[in-house]
Chains A and B, each alone.
Chain A
Amino acid sequence: MIHIENLSKKFNDFLAVDNVTLDVKPGQILALLGQNGAGKTTTIRMLTGLLRPTQGRAEVAGYDVEKESTQVRASVGVLTEHHGLYLRMTAVEYLDFFGKVYRLSDDARMKRINHLLEYFGLVEASHRRIGEYSKGMKQKLALARSLIHEPPALLLDEPTSAMDPESARLVRDEIASLRSSQRAIVICTHNLAEAEALADQIAIIYRGRILIRGKLAELKERVLGPAEYEVSFSKKWDNKSLKPPAGVEIVARGSRSIRFRSEQPQKNNPLLLKILSMKEAPVLTLQEVPRSLEQVYLKTMSDAGGALLQ
């Protein structure tokens, strides 16, 4: 649905996007993470046919972004960083205008507007000027605008930036509900929790280059190493003499817990539990040590020479 191949964009001497390759299939959500100025918005703008790539190519909904930019623009829904609403219009007038722009018939347009207003909980405010809306309502209306023509590709640039937590949560929930087998979604965000909650695929971009991309679990494995597990004890227990089974490596020993890596957790973790049981260890819990996308991101940026951890 969205296919990007060696895409680059240069502004004079500044290389904003450098050889980016990505693939988002229908039904998938890709989160593009990176610092300010990393090239996220430029990538989105190339995907909407607003900026011409300097090199490489991209296809959205089967259309080439450079050669068929009008068709591309007709096939994508874009939510820009700033909502970009006309504040003197009402929500109905606004959606009606964009519905006409996308050439929806009168009947289809009205049905779609009513559906979207209801879906986003804006029915009551639909005849009020947009200028009177709260930030969350404005962002929801902008999202409704991007969906008015039921686009097969949705590009969301910082959809919850500068929003209060409640509004951000609302918008995030709406985005999650937009996932469908027919639609590919790209989200550019700084909000790692948001990306973790929504995305099937993560790509981290730094100075225009994609540093790493893949499913979250794969990235955790690749960046932070194999998963770690922790066994906690209900009381102090001397575990210095404990010999783990083959395929299990103990990485930290404490009087109330041990932490270990396991090559085949499905097979080895029960084995380890068995040994502990035999040694009458006061086992309380066994769980995977939680590792967040934030750790993956910070580690990746740090490795790349980003300023975050320096």
Chain B
Amino acid sequence: MKEKLTPVWLLAQRELRDQFRDWRILFPLIVLTLLFPPLMNAGAGAAVSFMNNYGGDLILDRLVPFSILIIGFFPVTVSLVVALESFVGEKERGTIEPLLGTPFLDWQLYLGKLLVGIFFPLAASYLAIGLYLFMVSKQDLALPPVHQLVQLLTLTAAHAVLMVSGAIAISTQSTSVRAANLLASFIVMPVAFLIQGESVLLFWGNDQVLWLAVIAVLILAALLIRVGLAHFQREYLLGREIDSFKFKWIWQTFKGAFIGESYSPFKWYQVQVVGMLRKLKRPLLLIVVITIFGSIASYQWTTSMIPADFSAVTQEDIDEALDQFQFAAGLPSDDVDISFGFIFLHNIQAVLMMLFFGLFSFGVLGELAFSVNIGVLGGLMAVLNALGLPVWTLFTAGILPHGIFEIPAIIFAGAGILYFGAIMVTPDPTKTMGEVFIHAVADWFKIGVGVIFPLLLIAALIETFITPKILLSIMQ
């Protein structure tokens, strides 16, 4: 193993030496590392005196950890610059070909570049945090507890890994540094949202949830590394010269993957859809397991959250809770006319949202959206049970008639997203990353058009015309 890792370190060492000699990297790093902590410290000091005048101890407690999060993040942004130009920059300078012509293995090249992108900015980031903590210790402010500090340092490292792995994946797929910089918005914006979300969690003060956020960011970073490695091709780095958006090519590639060799709808269904269903065996099994355990867990959790003395709950509380539930589940408000078209389009929208979120997160956020759907179902059952209503009767009469079609449709959609994620992280030397992406989307749409949409159509018809009648007859 050591022998295999030596080239990785060798490459990283060379690049680090190069970076130490590049003022364009050194200057912002030094400024962000040395200038930002005193600025933040002064800002926090002013905020503390303000809070001391008006109270607000809770916010005060969170101010130092929040500052650490921000101070740690700024030097890490430099990692984006380093990583974005790692491959494509060398290509532009003409230095990539001699490097690719050496016996380095693909993963060694990739990992070497990854290490360099992370190491230097992260070291600067930790230095800045250390400097800030030193300043805080010299004032009357309380230092954050060790476990929180560990959490924040891990989170900072996770940000660096996430940004660098994303930037390197972009760098291997771009044909110019300019194109890579333009594509960087796909990293900067999500990470900015992520920092906002993490700040909210920090101020909320729920450590457990913040740890989950750390794990989620690390999983996403690991997936990004895997995707980058899976689709890293020396040939691709040298082959393409111009970035252009070819609608015709995209459409033809999609059409080719979607239709295949089929010459009739029947043949298409038989070959493409049934073929895809066969490929979905494992994801389906996994999703069914998630569905069963997810709904049970959600049922248990909701039940545990409902106060024991449920009779004390007023109708107003119930209405408010139902409103919140409706909003959280993305259900329509009461004044919307629930027609067949509405139900069908709403369900289509739900599965397409799952696909949309899955596309940008290798299936992770898509599965999260799926889990929310399942969680809502389990939660609803728990609430109905707490209200003293006959859960199983209501389930059998109010959900099952259309659920027989709707739930499998959602399960298929979830399995499709899982399959998409798996395809994206699997190496395929015969295709470019773009081709793999288009083929994987086409695979999802085979299931969508062939199975999910028809099932949702039937489900919407039943939900509109049959379920209400069954439910009414039971209620009466």
How far does the Cβ of B11 sit from chain A's closest Cβ, in whole Å?
Answer: 8
Instruction: Tell me if B243 is interfacial: C-beta within 8 Å of chain A.
Output: no
B235–A98 contact, CB under 8 A? Answer: no
Chain-B contact segment, one of A78-86, A167-175, A275-283: A78-86
Question: Which one of B7, B18, B96, B100 has the highest number of Cβ atoms from chain A below 10 Å of its Cβ?
Answer: B100
Task: Give CA–CA (A88, B23) in the complex, Å.
Answer: 11
Task: Give CA–CA (A88, B22) in the complex, Å.
Answer: 8
Instruction: Tell me if A213 is interfacial: C-beta within 8 Å of chain B.
Output: no
Task: Note all chain A residues with C-beta closer than 8 A to B22.
Answer: 88
Instruction: Tell me if A74 is interfacial: C-beta within 8 Å of chain B.
Output: yes
Task: Note all chain A residues with C-beta closer than 8 A to B96.
Answer: 84
Task: Note all chain B residues with C-beta closer than 8 A to A102.
Answer: 102-103
B18–A45 contact, CB under 8 A? Answer: no
Task: Give CA–CA (A93, B18) in the complex, Å.
Answer: 11
**A80-118, CB under 8 A of B: which get 1 and which 0?**
101111101100010001101111000000000000000
**B93-121, CB under 8 A of A: which get 1 and which 0?**
11111111111110000000000000000
Instruction: Tell me if A211 is interfacial: C-beta within 8 Å of chain B.
Output: no
A97–B238 contact, CB under 8 A? Answer: no
Task: Note all chain A residues with C-beta closer than 8 A to B17.
Answer: 89, 93
A80–B18 contact, CB under 8 A? Answer: no
Task: Note all chain A residues with C-beta closer than 8 A to B102.
Answer: 73-74, 98, 101-102
Q: How large is the interface on A (under 10, 10 to 19, 20 to 34, 35 or more residues)?
A: 20 to 34
The residue that B95 contacts in the complex, of A73, A74, A86, A103, with Cβ under 8 A, is: A86
Task: Note all chain B residues with C-beta closer than 8 A to A80.
Answer: 94, 97-98, 101
Chain-B contact segment, one of A27-35, A47-55, A247-255: A47-55
B94–A82 contact, CB under 8 A? Answer: yes
Task: Give CA–CA (A93, B17) in the complex, Å.
Answer: 10
Instruction: Tell me if A40 is interfacial: C-beta within 8 Å of chain B.
Output: no
Task: Note all chain B residues with C-beta closer than 8 A to A85.
Answer: 95
B101–A11 contact, CB under 8 A? Answer: no
Task: Give CA–CA (A52, B93) in the complex, Å.
Answer: 23
Instruction: Tell me if A76 is interfacial: C-beta within 8 Å of chain B.
Output: yes
Question: Which one of A76, A84, A102, A103 has the highest number of Cβ atoms from chain B below 10 Å of its Cβ?
Answer: A84
Question: Which one of A71, A85, A86, A88 has the highest number of Cβ atoms from chain B below 10 Å of its Cβ?
Answer: A86
Instruction: Tell me if A180 is interfacial: C-beta within 8 Å of chain B.
Output: no
Question: Which one of B101, B103, B239 has the highest number of Cβ atoms from chain A below 10 Å of its Cβ?
Answer: B101
B104–A101 contact, CB under 8 A? Answer: yes
Instruction: Tell me if B279 is interfacial: C-beta within 8 Å of chain A.
Output: no
Residue of B nearest to A96 (CB): B14
The residue that A70 contacts in the complex, of B21, B94, B103, with Cβ under 8 A, is: B103
Task: Give CA–CA (A34, B434) in the complex, Å.
Answer: 33
Task: Note all chain B residues with C-beta closer than 8 A to A142.
Answer: 98
The residue that B234 contacts in the complex, of A50, A76, A78, A101, with Cβ under 8 A, is: A50
The residue that A84 contacts in the complex, of B95, B103, B429, with Cβ under 8 A, is: B95
A45–B238 contact, CB under 8 A? Answer: yes
**A55-73, CB under 8 A of B: which get 1 and which 0?**
0000000000000001101
Task: Give CA–CA (A101, B95) in the complex, Å.
Answer: 15
Task: Note all chain A residues with C-beta closer than 8 A to B239.
Answer: 11, 51
Task: Give CA–CA (A49, B234) in the complex, Å.
Answer: 9
The residue that B97 contacts in the complex, of A11, A78, A103, with Cβ under 8 A, is: A78
Task: Give CA–CA (A50, B239) in the complex, Å.
Answer: 10
A101–B97 contact, CB under 8 A? Answer: no
Task: Give CA–CA (A85, B17) in the complex, Å.
Answer: 15
Task: Note all chain B residues with C-beta closer than 8 A to A145.
Answer: 98
Question: Which one of B22, B97, B235 has the highest number of Cβ atoms from chain A below 10 Å of its Cβ?
Answer: B97
Q: Which secondary structure characterizes the binding site on chain B?
A: helix
Assuming A45-B238, A51-B239, A70-B105, is B14 touching A97 (CB within 8 A)? Answer: yes
How far does the Cβ of B206 sit from chain A's closest Cβ, in whole Å?
Answer: 47
**B422-435, CB under 8 A of A: which get 1 and which 0?**
00000001000000
Task: Note all chain B residues with C-beta closer than 8 A to A88.
Answer: 18, 21-22
The residue that B10 contacts in the complex, of A70, A73, A84, A101, with Cβ under 8 A, is: A101
Task: Note all chain A residues with C-beta closer than 8 A to B94.
Answer: 80, 82-84
How far does the Cβ of B252 sit from chain A's closest Cβ, in whole Å?
Answer: 11
Task: Note all chain A residues with C-beta closer than 8 A to B429.
Answer: 52
Task: Give CA–CA (A71, B238) in the complex, Å.
Answer: 20
Task: Note all chain B residues with C-beta closer than 8 A to A78.
Answer: 97-98, 101
Residue of B nearest to A80 (CB): B97
Task: Give CA–CA (A32, B390) in the complex, Å.
Answer: 85
**B73-103, CB under 8 A of A: which get 1 and which 0?**
0000000000000000000011111111111
Residue of B nearest to A82 (CB): B94
B103–A76 contact, CB under 8 A? Answer: no
B235–A51 contact, CB under 8 A? Answer: yes
Residue of B nearest to A100 (CB): B10
Task: Note all chain A residues with C-beta closer than 8 A to B98.
Answer: 78, 80, 84, 98, 142, 145
Residue of B nearest to A46 (CB): B235
How far does the Cβ of B185 sit from chain A's closest Cβ, in whole Å?
Answer: 28
The residue that B103 contacts in the complex, of A74, A89, A93, with Cβ under 8 A, is: A74
Residue of A nearest to B10 (CB): A100
B10–A97 contact, CB under 8 A? Answer: yes
Of residues 109 to 135 in A, which have CB atoms within 8 Å of B's CB atoms?
none
B18–A86 contact, CB under 8 A? Answer: yes
Task: Give CA–CA (A78, B101) in the complex, Å.
Answer: 7
Of residues 128 to 179 in A, which have CB atoms within 8 Å of B's CB atoms?
142, 145
The residue that B238 contacts in the complex, of A50, A70, A74, A103, with Cβ under 8 A, is: A50
How far does the Cβ of A99 sit from chain B's closest Cβ, in whole Å?
Answer: 10
Given contacts A74-B103, A83-B94, A101-B10, 17 further A-B contacts (CB under 8 A): A45-B238, A50-B100, A51-B235, A51-B238, A51-B239, A70-B103, A78-B97, A78-B98, A82-B97, A84-B93, A88-B18, A88-B22, A89-B18, A97-B14, A101-B103, A102-B102, A142-B98
Task: Give 13 CB contacts A-B under 8 Å.
Answer: A48-B101, A50-B235, A70-B103, A71-B103, A73-B103, A74-B103, A78-B97, A78-B101, A80-B97, A89-B14, A98-B98, A98-B102, A101-B7
Q: Kindly list the 4 A-B residue pairs having the minimum CB-CB distance in the complex, ordered from nearest.
A: A82-B94, A74-B103, A84-B98, A78-B101
Question: Hey, which bits of chain B sit against chain A, CB under 8 A?
Answer: 7, 10, 14, 17-18, 21-22, 93-105, 234-235, 238-239, 429
Question: Hey, which bits of chain A sit against chain B, CB under 8 A?
Answer: 11, 45, 48-52, 70-71, 73-74, 76, 78, 80, 82-86, 88-89, 93, 97-98, 100-103, 142, 145
